[in-house]
Amino acid sequence: MPDSPAGPPAPPISLTALLGRDELGLRRIAGPDHADLLWVHTSEMADPYPYLLGGELLLTAGVQLADPDTYVARLVQAGASALGFGLAPVHDTVPDALVEACDRHGLPLLVVPPETRFAAIARAVWRLMAEARHRELRRVTRAQQALATAAARPDPVPAVLRQLAVQLEGRVALLTADGDVLHAAGDLPAPDVRTSLAELARVVAPAAPHAAVPGRKPSPSSATDTRDGTHLFAYALGGGQGLALTLATPRRDFGDHTVAGIAVVLLSLLTAPHQGADAAGRSAALVRLLLGAAPQDVAPLLGDGDSWTVVHARRADGTPAGPLNAGALGAALGSALSDVDRETVRVLLPGPHEAVTAQPGWTLGVSGPTPVTALPDGDTQASRALGHAEATRTALTTHRPATGGLDALVPPDRAEAHARALLAPLTEPLAETLRCWLSLHGSWDRTAVALRVHRNTVRQRVARCAALLDMDLDDMDVRTELWFALRDRRP
């Protein structure tokens, strides 16, 4: 069989669509009832095999039809999709031997009535292909717009994968070279399909890429396979990140590769590591801190400004956040300094907290302005603000330091000393529970949400605080004194 060409710049059309053109009067009398047509070719040669590319609807009047079985066998071997047999002027009916041969070899056989010209059939095929091409271009355009919109969401990587799964009606996943799934969307395929996808991911994104060696072929950028009728694809993400996009779809449509290519470009940009002078400065700051440098000495390497803002964030829908989500949130807030610990994302921002805005899909807690020497205090403020935001069901809560009023009447050192003495019987978990409970006006349920514990645990801890302090927590004077003490006491 000749080498298969890349194919025409249009999706194939179905045999059913061509038979549906009533003006042609075509009838199928043998072979299967489905086929994909890529071309139309007319030939009266006894053996047109050398001139076929595959996928043709071959039209003939049977001028040199000597051996129907050999003729049909050669067409099938060449990859022809269907045979159209024209009645008159050579044959008044389709030879029985040709009908039997088409049934035997599985080649659809169409009867072309005398009044239908072969040129009219070719024109109808090209018209159907143009219509299919137009539909496919519209589909790809819609998919491109949907993927671009997903890439602009607060969680761009999972959003792009979910949208790609919708567009291709299959399973998509972002895999490491070791086969670990970072994010996925769509129905979970069978175990053997997942294994095959992991193998394809290792092909396009090997765990330990070889250095350039003369004569050694680089890893392919894509790979395909099939498993029990499921089409499998793997694409390497750009930048040598060792990540691969894998797809498992029930069918393979003409525009799927284009849609997947758009997703690969977007995911490559979204997951690419940010390198540059700022990254070098952060690395230098980390090295110096690990080697014992004072925080105030490395502050200039972290960026401009004398104060910092700490942001704590969790997904509003309760789903866990990953490193890619953390990086995307940090980028949305304007910082590359982000980290994720279980379900909580922490972002460090240079400058005041006024620059922080609510982010769709996230619940945020924001610290007040914090010098680099007091970042642990800012971390505590952000954690408490996040708990308060979740308890009150608000998208963003900012820590507000006490200024003026009664606080200005007592020197800070004396206030802190009094707070430590008053609260000395309490352990840190008890003190934090009491502070949170008072800040939420004694609400058991909201305190439980803020601390992420059961409400009975809150009741037990508050009761324990009352016993250790020997105070009546229902007394407003007691609550007021404790509230000032808890605000002045540093953890």
- pLDDT tens string 62-119: 999 989 999 999 999 999 999 999 998 889 999 999 999 999 999 999 999 999 999 9
Find the range with the poorest average confidence among 65-69, 121-125, 222-226: 222-226
Residue 5 has a pLDDT of 42
User: Does 266 lie in the same domain as 165?
Assistant: yes
At residue 174, φ and ψ (nearest 5 deg) are -105, 115
Residue 289 has a pLDDT of 65
Task: Give the separation between CA 237 and CA 221, rounded to whole angstroms.
Answer: 8
In a domain? residue 463:
yes
Q: CB–CB of 147/266 below 8 Å?
A: yes
Residue 195 has a pLDDT of 86
Residue 118 has a pLDDT of 94
Residue 78 has a pLDDT of 92
Residue 240 has a pLDDT of 61
User: Does 254 lie in the same domain as 335?
Assistant: no
Query: What average pLDDT does the segment 141-151 reach?
Result: 88
Decide: residue 194, CB within 10 A, 0-12 exposed, 13-18 middle, 19+ buried. buried
DSSP string, 371-432: EGGGHHHHHHHHHHHHHHHHHHT-SEEE-----SGGGGGS-HHHHHHHHHHHTTTS-HHHHH
pLDDT at 154 over 90: no
User: Does 88 lie in the same domain as 114?
Assistant: yes
Residue 328 has a pLDDT of 75
User: Does 418 lie in the same domain as 317?
Assistant: no
User: Does 43 lie in the same domain as 82?
Assistant: yes
pLDDT classification of 349: cutoffs 50, 70, 90: confident
State percent of the chain over pLDDT 70: 84
Find the range with the poorest average confidence among 112-116, 236-240, 385-389, 462-466: 236-240
Task: Give the separation between CA 24 and CA 123, rounded to whole angstroms.
Answer: 11
pLDDT at 43 over 90: yes
pLDDT at 168 over 80: yes
Mean model confidence pLDDT for the chain: 82
User: Does 373 lie in the same domain as 462?
Assistant: no
Find the range with the poorest average confidence among 68-77, 317-326, 349-358, 409-418: 409-418
Q: Which of 125-129, 207-211, 277-281, 450-454 has the highest mean pLDDT?
A: 125-129
In a domain? residue 255:
yes
Q: How many domains does one find in the chain?
A: 5
* Backbone region of residue 89 per phi and psi (left: phi > 0; alpha: psi in -120 to 50; beta: other values): alpha
- Cis omega (within 30 of 0) for bond into 89: yes
In a domain? residue 6:
no
Residue 225 has a pLDDT of 87
Residue 412 has a pLDDT of 63
pLDDT at 23 over 70: yes
In a domain? residue 138:
no
pLDDT at 7 over 50: no
Residue 279 has a pLDDT of 55
In a domain? residue 328:
yes
CATH number at residue 265: 3.30.450.30
pLDDT at 343 over 90: no
Range of the domain at 458: 405-488
pLDDT classification of 463: cutoffs 50, 70, 90: very high
pTM of the model: 0.52
Both structure tokens of 309: 């803002």
Task: Give the separation between CA 252 and CA 286, rounded to whole angstroms.
Answer: 49
Task: Give the separation between CA 382 and CA 313, rounded to whole angstroms.
Answer: 9
Q: CB–CB of 377/356 below 8 Å?
A: no
User: Does 266 lie in the same domain as 279?
Assistant: no
Q: Which residue has the higher pLDDT, 145 or 302?
A: 145
User: Does 340 lie in the same domain as 373?
Assistant: yes
CB atoms within 10 A of CB 264: 19
Query: What average pLDDT does the segment 183-210 reach?
Result: 80
pLDDT classification of 243: cutoffs 50, 70, 90: confident
pLDDT single digits (tens) 323-332: 777 777 877 7
Q: Which of 2-6, 80-84, 133-137, 368-372 has the highest mean pLDDT?
A: 80-84
User: Does 415 lie in the same domain as 364?
Assistant: no
User: Does 283 lie in the same domain as 265?
Assistant: no
Residue 49 DSSP class: G
Cβ-based neighbours of 38, under 8 Å, separated by 6 or more: 7, 8, 12, 53, 54, 55, 56, 81
In a domain? residue 384:
yes
Q: Which of 353, 382, 398 is the last residue of a domain?
A: 398
Quote helix, strand, coil % in the chain, to nearest 5: 45, 20, 35
Query: What average pLDDT does the segment 159-171 reach?
Result: 91
Q: Which of 364, 383, 398 is the last residue of a domain?
A: 398
In a domain? residue 179:
yes
User: Does 163 lie in the same domain as 267?
Assistant: yes
- Secondary element (H or E) of residue 104: helix 96-105
In a domain? residue 370:
yes
